[in-house]
Structure 1
């Protein structure tokens, strides 16, 4: 079970790093080095997939990786925009 949680956390970290590589990310004020964050994120997604492949079957592992990535890519921009909006409002 530890292998599954490690794979999920690595996938989430990789998806967050890929988000930080985009030019319109809202977490930091200035864009970071997109190539470094992009490659780190791709590596995190691949490592997460490999860890999940060792725990579950191929279809399940790919489904988990895609679901976690979509969850991160859907919630992180909304939370970042909401926090930034609250800070500007005060």
Structure 2
């Protein structure tokens, strides 16, 4: 869905969503920006593409989400245990 506000035009991904997850992604992104050189390079690359800092952080949050979601899914999957052998 296209949304505009003055000179800004972007696509809204989803109006709904999990606010706690969004806040967690924001905290991860900001913390990584402060300490992680890879993340700082990513932000610099997005800024040189002409994005604003706010847009670049949105891209970074999506990047972080793609990185951590597989870990969350494997953490929530129950471990399959081997059947016990009576003996």
TM-score (norm 2): 0.39
When you count strand as a share of all residues, which structure comes out higher? 2
Which one has the bigger helix percentage? 1
TM-score computed with the length of structure 1 as normaliser: 0.38
Higher relative contact order (CA 8 A, sep 6+): 1
